[in-house]
Structure 1
């Protein structure tokens, strides 16, 4: 099975940042349980990383693996739309994970 790798860029410990993280975790657990890595980067504390990855707005999630990379900006509250944008498998494609 493919392991997915995500980086979530946030700006501080805001409600919107928290919601984005929780929504991404929920999505990953529902669709990729056990087959994902998630890193959170605070762009306020690590502006050099945000600049290197050209993060212009937060929260932004970047899917690093599998390639090609994909990005979604926002709190990911529409889980179905976020899953499509990130190219995540349907539940039945991933063995009902």
Structure 2
């Protein structure tokens, strides 16, 4: 299992539990998986510490050691995208009724 890329959505601080939280996307073997991650740290913690903690939590979830559910993103079908781009917006919204 080789992780190619890790992306973070908006990192936010949750003062109620004293932790930074985000949704982490892991790109692995051409597929994308998303995991909620959090790291307990004070609001004034170093950015590097926060990022390492979030990445570590996501990697741990990706390996399946925590038994968490993961969100798998389906790859877009190139044919469906090409077909949709050929149709007008009106025909895509209204279907055959627009014709």
TM (normalized to structure 2)? 0.30
Q: RCO (CA 8 Å, sep 6+): is it higher in 1 or 2?
A: 1
Structure (1 or 2) with the greater strand fraction: 2
**Under a length normalisation based on structure 1, what TM-score does the superposition of the two structures give?**
0.30
